[in-house]
Amino acid sequence: MHAKVIRLDGHSLSRAQLVEIASGAAQVELDPDQLDRVQRAADFLSEKVRCGEPIYGVTTGFGSNADKLLGSHRLRDELPGRKAQAHSQTLLEELQHNLIITHAVCVGEPFEPRVVRAMLAIRINTLMHGHSGIRVSTLQSLTDLLNRGVVPVVPKKGSVGASGDLAPLSHLALVLLGGGEAFFQGQRMPGAQALELAGLEPVKLSFKEGLALNNGTAQMLATAVLALDRLGTLLDSADLAAAMTLDAFAGRSGALREEVHALRPHPGQVETARHVRELLAGSTLVDIAYHLVPRFRGWSAQAWEDAQDQALGFDISWDWVPPSQRHGREAFYSRFLPFKGGKKHQPQDAYCLRCMPQVHGAVRDAWAQACRVIDIELNAVTDNPLIFPVAQSAQVIEEQVISAGHFHGMPLALAMSYVKAAIPVLASISERRLNKLVDPATNDGLPAFLIGNEDATDSGFMIVQYTAAALVNDLATRAHPASVYSVPTSANAEDHVSMGANEARHVLEMTEDLAHVIALELYTAAQALDYRQDMLNAARRLACKGDWQALAGKISNAPESGSPQRAQFESEVRQLAQSLAQAADFHAGAAVRAVHGQIREQVQFMARDRAMDGDVKTMCDWVLARLAGA
């Protein structure tokens, strides 16, 4: 039994509630006050039909048949010598039935159940407005379908996004009529069987009910909501990956400062910078003095005297900057000791780190704009024609049925086009950070491909970057907006369509590959962070032993004993030893450390090459599980 019930009234459904319904964590109930309005519209429509007025899709045909008024009986019954046939349906009822059975023509693999449950909830919610002409009994049957776990089989491809999602919504309604296929209790079966097992009866459609059920934006809206829910979490995950990478680089935090972003206050940019500052809080790696950071040197048997340190998979080293190379840089070397290790003497990081608030923030703004559009659509009427039965306020509304275009998906399509273009951007900057971590020319003193490789047998994380690059290319080639390419339908009666269903479906599918890229960055950054922390703390332990000569042995270009520069060198090595010994333990920010610990519960540090397929799958599954709230 479900612990939570969400009341649908056509006005207050939120994205978060829809995600709960889609996941199966909540059932729905119908607001009694709104049901009065629903029945009022159905009664009004029935009266209009009795009066013989032409109403699109009710007493006329659809699309290019809109100019054909339905008669009171079938023309074939008038053939000479033919007796009038008994029919189970009137022409008006047959029109609605035929609309559903002939429009259910989608192809491809079926949507997963969460998408279909979201579609059902959206359709029910929009019909609760009372402007569609559906009867309360039919709407209740649609609600029972959702609550009793009958999930219509809806193939993914076939909607042009105007007149709404006709084909996929017809698959949804087909099961209500006892046709099509459905999933019930995890099994795929004929729709009639699923209804019977759920204790439900097929529905016989009345005036306009077929049109009310299949004319709207429920598929594109359902996939858009689920895609945006995922992307919202992935934006936070991308910030986390970037923060871990910045810690692994012992990077600079100036580009994240609040006063910096106050000068260019794009909301997403400001929020991203704030979030990453929060993730890095407590880090002793970020903004570290240049001279403290050693660079990786391959392990050798002579690397360490202490037995504990002999177990390390690396050696460390610095270069000493002799006085002859300090001319014109005296001010710098008055602040920093004259040693070059892993950190280049530059005050700014690469764009993939320094411009991360601007890039992540721009994607966050695209996401926020799409959320604004989707929030409106969630509680909008999206079918046609619209029924205004009676005045509902002091303002008199003339009784009328109005043909309009609320089924057109362009508002959603363009919003999702924006998001679609943003996804490869977020993936691309993540891949660039990953690449920077594995490249010894750019990783600030970390080992090449993040592996010791003293025997020249190890590839380390080299090929992880290949996979990320392939995913980024795939995302980029899929980012072309579907919304810019309309293909007219219905004999040109529907001469401009949105293609919003394709757009939103693409975005939902693309979020999975984006999650994989971010997972690969986290996997790589965790390895890099281990190396950075271990190398720094090994240097600190060496300095804390009080043997400056042991530290001097880590200087690659130490002047020989007795040379004129030796005394100055020894003095400066002692200062380096003192700086390292006085430093606190080197570690990442508290939030980064926590997630790093979670990653290490999933996959272990890789000291030597091993099969990585299991690690990669585990990391990808872990990130996807975070999207699902696991």
Contact assessment for residue 35 and residue 58, using Cβ atoms and an 8 Å cutoff:
no
Cα-Cα-Cα-Cα dihedral sign, residues 288, 290, 291, 297: positive
At 2, list the tokens: 């479900």
CB burial readout 235-259, b (16+ within 10 A) else e: bebbbbbbbbbbbbbbbbeebbeee
Q: Angle CA(443)–CA(444)–CA(446) in degrees, nearest 5?
A: 65
Q: How far apart are CA 436 and CA 353, in angstroms?
A: 10
Nearest to 313 by CA among 297, 296, 299: 299
- Helices 113-127 and 15-23 cross at an angle (nearest 10°) of 130
Nearest to 23 by CA among 142, 117, 123, 156: 117
Residue 400: HSE in the Cβ half-sphere, 13 Å Cα cutoff:
6
Catalytic choice (56, 290, 523, 531): 56
Burial class for 359, CB neighbours closer than 10 Å (0-12, 13-18, 19+): buried
Helix (H, G, I), strand (E, B) or coil at 124: helix
Determine which helix (DSSP H) or strand (DSSP E) holds 155, and give its type and residue range: strand 155-157
CB burial readout 372-402, b (16+ within 10 A) else e: ebbeebbbbbbbbbbbbbeeeeeeeeeeebe
DSSP tally for the chain: helices H, then strands E: 22, 13
Contact assessment for residue 273 and residue 297, using Cβ atoms and an 8 Å cutoff:
no
Q: 341 Cβ partners below 8 Å, 6+ apart?
A: 290, 291, 292, 293, 294, 295, 316, 317, 318, 319, 445
**Amino acid identity, residue 490?**
S
SS (H, E, C) 366-427: HHHHHHHHHHHHHCCCCCCCEEECCCCCCCCCCCEEECCCCCCCHHHHHHHHHHHHHHHHHH
Q: Is residue 466 annotated as a catalytic residue, yes or no?
A: no
Q: How far apart are CA 352 and CA 150, in angstroms?
A: 47
Contact assessment for residue 247 and residue 279, using Cβ atoms and an 8 Å cutoff:
no
CA distances from residue 260 to 164, 263, 499, 594 in whole angstroms, order as listed: 45, 6, 41, 28
Residue positions annotated with a catalytic role: 56
